[in-house]
A and B are shown apart, each in its own frame.
Chain A
Amino acid sequence: MSGVRVLVGTRKGAFILTSDGRRDRWDVSGPHFGGWEIYHLKGSPVDSNRLYASQSSGWFGQVIQRSNDGGKTWEPAGNKFEYAGVPGTHQWYDGTPHPWEFKRVWHLEPSLSDPDMVYAGVEDAALFRTSDGGQTWEELSGLRGHGSGPKWQPGAGGMCLHTILLDASDPARIFIAISAAGAFRTDDGGKTWQPINRGLKSEYIPDPNAEVGHCVHRIAMHRLHPNVLFMQKHWDVMRSDDAGASWYEVSGNLPSDFGFVIDVHAHEPETIYVVPIKSDSEHYPPEGKLRVYRSRSGGNEWEPLSKGLPQRDCYVNILRDAMAVDTLDPCGVYFGTTGGQVYASADAGDSWAPIVRDLPAVLSVEVQTLP
């Protein structure tokens, strides 16, 4: 029987949650790398036993870990992330120039075809790639070389490259997103990039319609429809039907269009999920009710999903990398909270149950569907 493996990164270690395809009984393994921040861990789509983890600490810096046995054992890989050339400056919070400085890896995105190739999105924002299983990393410097880098600015969490979407139909096309610069796309494997932010409107920046400077929180894509992108911006849920060339708002009837996560149903490309958060100054759900909102129409019309989720006195946040879907039928949906709960739905969001309740604050959730 098929199964799932949920990879959870937290403020104090990694946890691996496994179940069979029914997804009602779970084994919990961890903490792995106890005491370290695990911003993200993810498995190779072509080798489910090959996992990569970003392990970091304010004291000891960045470590990359690799597993060849599905997370039972790990070995440190290379952790040298050197910007190409002279890194230059970006804008600091007060608008003054600030030198580019490597801080940590936010997101690891394994290649769709090669288990030894992985993309890494880092803070301060840049995209790196390894082709040797994480031993060495090289910056794809065309992104920072696009020319708008001096105008990029950190969001509240730092100036991070947090989203990497690989196009299954075109290996040369990659989408990335940066807080707070916006979304970018390459069509030549990372040599050159263009900002794809037309249609985004951010009232909190000097020019609300600027080419860059938007605080994009997350982008999602259905693997069979790579020209359709969904975005949770700082405020506003957005959609693009032309691979990011233009965006329009699909927030519709959401109780708040601020939030961090967004994801797409594995089998229904027009079914999307968000978790509304009250505001950028409060960072908890509206009315103290934890509700996932689902749209079956690609946006605008949203329904609250609350069965099994706390509907009073809930003041957790769900961070940008902390939602994922499996590819079973019905589609499973998972998310983790800053309160340490990981919730799972085995029926596409209709009902929810906690897998675990008391982990450290959850930074990321990924899911592997196992044969």
Chain B
Amino acid sequence: MIRVILPPHLRTLAQVGGEVALEVEGAVTLRTVIDALEARYPMLRGTIRDQLTQQRRPFLRFFACKEDLSHEPPDAPLPGAVTSGAEPFFIVGAIAGG
């Protein structure tokens, strides 16, 4: 299982608790994890990445295993600790005031 931790506003929107557990078929990448997340919680479509360009929304960042994965290619494998479920994958709102 892939563990995903969403920022608070998206937890509210998806009506989930602190952590989401996802089954991901095949390679575990940024793209496949978010695909699985959006498939299970369709209300999150467009809130993490643009629905048309598939680009990460500019005020969001991705972290795992103390690494910033925000600028990694979408099809690059995520760290093994994420794939094994030992470490969560974080979707974090950038600090930008408001």
Q: Mark B1-14 against chain A: 1 for CB-CB distance below 8 A, else 0.
A: 00000011110110
Majority-rule SS of A interface residues:
loop
CB interface residues, B 5-60, toward A, < 8 Å:
7-10, 12-13, 42-43, 45-48, 50-52, 57, 59-60
A58 and B51 in contact, given A36-B9, A76-B43, A80-B46 (Cβ under 8 angstroms): no
Q: Hey, which chain B residues are within 8 Å of A35, CB to CB? A: 8-9, 12
B59–A59 CB distance below 8 A? yes
Asked if A59 contacts B46 (CB within 8 A), the reply is no
Find out whether the CB atom of B57 lies under 8 angstroms from the CB atom of A59: yes
> Which of A34, A36, A59, A61 touches B94 (beta carbons < 8 Å)?
A59
Question: Given known contacts A80-B45, A80-B51, is B9 in contact with A58 (CB within 8 Å)?
Answer: no
Neighbouring A residues of B10 by C-beta, 8 Å: 60
Residues of chain A within 8 A (CB-CB) of B74 are none
Pick from B8, B13, B57, B59: contact of A76, CB below 8 A.
Answer: B13
A263 to chain B, nearest CB (A): 30
Does A117 sit within 8 A of B, measured CB to CB?
no
B contact face: mostly helix, strand, loop, or mixed: loop
Q: How far is the CB of B64 from chain A (nearest CB, A)?
A: 19
Is the Cβ of A58 less than 8 Å from the Cβ of B43?
A: no
Question: CA A33 – CA B45 in complex, angstroms?
Answer: 17
Q: Does A141 have its Cβ within 8 Å of any Cβ on chain B?
A: no
Q: Is the CB of A59 within 8 A of B13?
A: no
Would you call A63 an interface residue if the criterion is a C-beta within 8 Å of the partner chain's C-beta atoms?
Answer: yes
Q: How large is the interface on A (under 10, 10 to 19, 20 to 34, 35 or more residues)?
A: 10 to 19
B93 within 8 A of partner (CB)? yes
B46 near A79 with CB under 8 A, answer yes
Contact A58-B59, Cβ < 8 Å, known A36-B9, A63-B13, A82-B52 = yes
Chain B interface category by residue count: 20 to 34
Which one of A34, A59, A62, A79 contacts B7 once the chains associate, using CB atoms below 8 Å?
Answer: A59
The chain B residue with its CB closest to the CB of A35 is B9
Interface 1/0s, chain A 42-66, versus B by CB < 8 A? Answer: 0000000000000001111111000
Interface string of B53-79 (1 = CB under 8 A from A): 000010110000000000000000000
A59-B45 contact, Cβ under 8 Å, with A35-B9, A76-B13, A82-B52? no
In contact, A59 and B9 (Cβ under 8 angstroms): yes
Chain A residues with Cβ below 8 Å from B12 are 33-35
In the complex, which of the residues B47, B48, B57 contacts A63, with contact meaning CB atoms closer than 8 Å? B47
Residue of A36, A59, A80 touching B60 (CB-CB under 8 A): A59
Q: Least Cβ distance of B67 to chain A in Å?
A: 21
Q: A60 contacts B47, CB within 8 Å? A: yes
- Report how far A34 CA is from B52 CA in the complex, Å: 27
Contacts of B93 in A (CB 8 A): 59-60
Give chain B residues whose Cβ lies under 8 Å from the Cβ of A79: 45-46, 51
A79 CA to B50 CA, complexed, in Å: 11
The CA-CA distance from A36 to B9 in the complex, in Å, is 8
Instruction: Report B-chain residues with C-beta under 8 Å of the C-beta of A63.
Output: 13, 43, 46-47
Task: Please tell me if the beta carbons of A61 and B57 are within 8 angstroms of each other in the complex.
Answer: yes
CA distance A34 to B42 in the complex (A): 20
Q: Who on chain B is nearest to A79 by CB?
A: B46
How far in angstroms is the closest Cβ of chain B from A325?
A: 32
Contacts of A61 in B (CB 8 A): 46-47, 50, 57
- Note all chain B residues with C-beta closer than 8 A to A82: 51-52
Determine if A62 and B60 form an interchain contact, defined as CB atoms under 8 angstroms apart: no
* Shortest CB distance A131–B (Å): 20
| Contact A60 B57, beta carbon cutoff 8 Å | yes
A58 in contact with B96 (CB, 8 Å): yes
Hey, which chain B residues are within 8 Å of A80, CB to CB? Answer: 45-46, 51-52
**Per-residue contact bits, chain A 23-41, to B (CB 8 Å; 1 contact, 0 not):** 0000000000111100000
B21 to chain A, nearest CB (A): 21
Segment 72-98 of B: residues with Cβ below 8 Å from A? 93-94, 96, 98
Complex CA distance for A36 and B47, rounded to whole angstroms: 12
Q: A59-B9, A59-B94, A59-B96 are in contact. List 4 more A-B contacts (CB 8 A).
A: A35-B9, A58-B98, A59-B57, A61-B47
* 3 shortest interchain CB distances as A-B pairs: A76-B43, A60-B47, A59-B59
Can you show 13 pairs from A to B with CB atoms below 8 A apart? Answer: A33-B12, A34-B12, A35-B8, A36-B9, A58-B59, A59-B7, A59-B59, A59-B60, A60-B10, A60-B48, A63-B13, A79-B51, A82-B52
